[in-house]
Amino acid sequence: MTEYVKKSSVPGQKSLIRNSVAKMSGYVPGEQSRSDKIIKLNTNENPYPPSPRVVEALLSLDVGKLRLYPDPVSLELRKELAGRHGCKPENVFVCNGSDETLKLCTQAFVENGGSIGYFNPSYSLYPVLADIREAVKRPIELSDEFEWPTDAMADMDFDLFFLSNPNAPTSILYPSDAVRDFCVSGKGVVVIDEAYVDFASHDCMNLALTMDNVLVARTLSKSFSLAGLRVGYAIGPEPLINALMKLKDSYNVDAISQQVALAAVKDSEYMRTNVARICKTRSRLTMLLKDKGYKVYPSEANFIWTKPAGIQAEKLFGILRKKGILVRYFPGDRTGAYIRITIGTDTEIDRLLDTLSKIVDGTFADNDNLNEGKP
């Protein structure tokens, strides 16, 4: 093993890492276990496989063409998405996962020293993106019950506001009127992050199609079962889309992803069928957890936000993990009493419910460590 020459420790040498980067904490993604024994209910992936059309698209790939760069502007996919949302391809931006859109928005719409707003709690990437951009962070507290904080929103000043709707991790969908009024009164760009909207009863796409300061960000990671592909898109007014186009990597979406995403989007019917199954399982899980005394918030997403009964959330998270069931726990004042559970298959949810019963009736003790299924 070679050893690095330690230039950074020479007196008078300037730091090699930018100060703000050295100080910031990066985003911490949920645990990714590849073991088949694990029941993975922690990162809001879809438990069902992608459309059979995706398989066909992969099998029909012309591997020889991979020597060529992909279409830099993903035109075919943008045309298809534009057709579906009733806009022009010029209103569509295709990205390497929705996270790319969010990051580019911080570069496109926030002046140096400008501000980025978001709710607390919400998607934990937002403050990290603000740190990367060295922007002023303007977190707005949600109400005690994680609802829209009416008073706090009046006359808010920001360059960019990230509004996850339905919100993660709370699963709640905000009223359309409140969102519209906020976009009208807001002084900067509002990005409505609709990563989970296919599981919800309404969306805000009409705002992105009619207002000059609103973008809607969507992803194929959740409802289309394609988290591994990394494709998302944004819809909005041409000047905002053009700004993102200028900033993206030249070939931000690879050729395979463009082809596969197109096949998936064309088979929206398959996606809808899976969404319906997931929503049905969501209702069943909600009902059965409520029967156990858990508080469960009204979910419009592919996960639920719940306060366990008879056991602390963090402890429950730890025991479930030992039993091979991964859920998500977010420490902190606002979130530490809750866990977030992704909706899995019915079989997975039955295993979860069975394990929860055994934890509460004492069949499983805290230190009872089953080796099988350990992450």
Ligand X SMILES: Cc1ncc(COP(=O)(O)O)c(C=O)c1O
Least distance in Å: CB of 196 to ligand X?
Answer: 7
Among 91, 115, 164, 274, binds ligand X (CB under 6 A): 164
The answer to whether the bond into 166 is cis (omega within 30° of 0) is yes
Q: How many CB atoms lie within 10 A of CB 8?
A: 11
The interface region with ligand X, picked from 57-65, 96-104, 259-267, 341-349 by CB under 6 A, is: 96-104
- For position 159 contacting ligand X by CB under 6 A, the verdict is no
Per the CB < 8 A criterion, the answer to whether 342 and 352 are in contact is no
Q: Compute φ and ψ for 253, nearest 5 degrees.
A: -120, 120
Name the CA radius of gyration of the chain, rounded: 22
Residue 45 binds ligand X (CB under 6 A): no
Residue 355 in contact with ligand X, rule: CB under 6 A = no
Q: Which of 105, 186, 194 is nearest to 152 (CA)?
A: 186
Should residue 342 be labelled a site residue for ligand X when binding is judged by CB under 6 A? Answer: no
Minimum CB separation of residue 363 from ligand X in Å reads 33
From the list 82, 136, 227, 255, which residue makes contact with ligand X (rule: CB under 6 A)? 227
Q: Pattern 53-92, binding to ligand X, x per CB under 6 A? A: ----------------------------------------
The CA-to-CA distance between both ends of the chain, in Å, stands at: 31
Q: Shortest Cβ distance from residue 268 to ligand X (Å)?
A: 17
Helix boundaries (H) for 111-211: 125-132, 176-185, 205-210
Element (H, E) at 161: strand 160-164
Given candidates 232, 236, 237, 344, which one binds ligand X under the rule CB under 6 A? 232
Among 98, 170, 259, 286, binds ligand X (CB under 6 A): 98
DSSP 41: -
Question: Based on CB atoms, which residue is closest to ligand X, 241 or 359?
Answer: 241
Least Å distance between CB 64 and ligand X? 29
Minimal distance, residue 30 CB to ligand X, in Å: 8
Taking the least distance from each CB to ligand X, the nearer of 253 and 279 is 253
Say if CB 183 and CB 176 are below 8 A apart.
no
Q: State the Cα angle at 234 between 232 and 237, rounded to 5°.
A: 165
List alpha helices for 292-341, DSSP H: 313-322
Q: Is residue 99 a contact point for ligand X (CB under 6 A)? A: yes
Q: How many angstroms separate the Cα of 159 from the Cα of each of 42, 135, 244, 256?
A: 32, 9, 15, 35
* Structure tokens, 149: 């904080």
- Of residues 167 through 226, those in contact with ligand X by CB under 6 A are 168, 193, 195, 219, 221
Q: How many residues bind ligand X (CB under 6 A)?
A: 13
Residue 115 or 171 with smaller CB distance to ligand X: 171
Q: Which stretch binds ligand X (CB under 6 A): 93-101, 237-245, 320-328, 365-373?
A: 93-101
> In this chain, which of 47, 70, 97, 117 binds ligand X, going by CB under 6 A?
97
Q: Please state the separation of Cα 237 from the chain's center in Å.
A: 23
Closest CB 194 distance from ligand X, rounded Å:
8
Nearer to ligand X, 261 or 356 (CB): 261
Q: Which is nearer to ligand X, 182 or 364 (CB)?
A: 182
When binding is defined by CB under 6 A, the residue of 42, 44, 46, 306 that contacts ligand X is 44
CA 342 to chain centre: 12
Residues between 112 and 151 with contacts to ligand X, criterion CB under 6 A = 123
Instruction: Quote the least distance from Cβ 136 to ligand X, whole Å.
Output: 22
Torsions phi, psi for 246 (to 5 deg): -65, -30
DSSP letter at 58 equals H
CB of 56 to ligand X, least distance (A): 23
Strands 295-296 and 303-307: antiparallel
Which is closer to ligand X, CB of 95 or CB of 356?
A: 95
Cα–Cα distance measured from residue 341 to residue 3, given in angstroms and rounded to the nearest whole number? 45
- Rounded Cα gap, residues 169 and 157, in angstroms: 25
Question: Which two tokens mark 56?
Answer: 């066909």
What residue ranges bind ligand X (CB under 6 A)? 44, 97-99, 123, 164, 168, 193, 195, 219, 221, 227, 232
